[in-house]
Amino acid sequence: MTTTLRPTAPQHESADGVRSRAYEVCVNGRPVGTAEVSTDARFGGRFGKIRHLSIAEGDRRRGRGTVAALAAEEVLRGWGCTQVSASVPADAHGALALTTALGYTARGHNMVKDLTESPELPPATRVRPLTDAEYPEWFTRERASYIRDWMDRGVPEEQATTKADADYATLLPDGPATRSVLLRVLTHEDVARGNIWIALGDRSENGEGAYVYAVEVAPEHRGQGHGRSLLLVAERESLAAGVTRLGLHVFANNTPAVRLYESLGYRYVVTHMVKSLL
């Protein structure tokens, strides 16, 4: 039997240059599922995404999804993409097994924690807002770190910079005065130890709850529990704003951070898988 992708609509290109197209997955012309692929403008359009791939229950475990995924990769190669990603829900064990078998590796995870009680901070630990005077230095350092994180994962500098600038323009359009954004400094024994960037409501990653975009502990103060304290600050600030769910993203190879979030009770919701298109 032959598994193919059959377009269900013309190719679409948005104003910001994102190309996308939807397909039916067919076996000998019979529809057995659906798929959608797109480019990712945040990386300069050279990265592709399998945004959706679903096979009807009665046709699963017969290799349909494997062939459909490979066909989707060919579409993206034809668009000039050099890498493809797929976001897999934590409970989609079959999809995770499929992407792993096809050579995808975990790039990062989205994790969430449901909040109930506001935690206490360690003795002599306090929190204050990041000041306007401190913001430019913080932003320069944060942007450079973000670009470096993506470059360390194989993203060319130009594409990493494109993504960073697009993200900051969306997430911090008014700097420290951006609505529903909290920039906080952690002090211990009256010495600044680190900072955290928290977004509430529609500024959060999924438009609800709260989201931690960045956690930084000064190099000379690492390994002393201040990262954990910063996450407790995020819980306290979220609950104070009436929010009971806190989310974040962690790169899969950042083992210390993964272990910290697990120990604090965060659970996995999505794993972002990635593969080079040779």
Domains contained in the chain, CATH given: 3-81 (3.40.630.30), 117-243 (3.40.630.30)
pLDDT tens per residue across all 278 residues of the chain: 688 999 999 999 988 789 999 999 999 999 999 999 999 877 767 899 999 999 999 999 899 999 999 999 999 999 999 999 999 999 999 999 999 999 999 999 999 999 999 999 999 999 999 999 999 999 999 999 999 998 988 888 988 998 899 899 999 999 999 999 999 999 999 999 999 999 998 666 666 699 999 999 999 999 999 999 999 999 999 999 999 999 999 999 999 999 999 999 999 999 999 999 98
Q: Report the distance separating Cα 211 and Cα 195, nearest Å.
A: 14
Res 178: pLDDT: 95
Does this model's pTM top 0.85? My answer is yes
Q: What are phi and psi of 153, to 5 degrees?
A: -105, 25
Res 278: pLDDT: 80
Res 46: pLDDT: 84
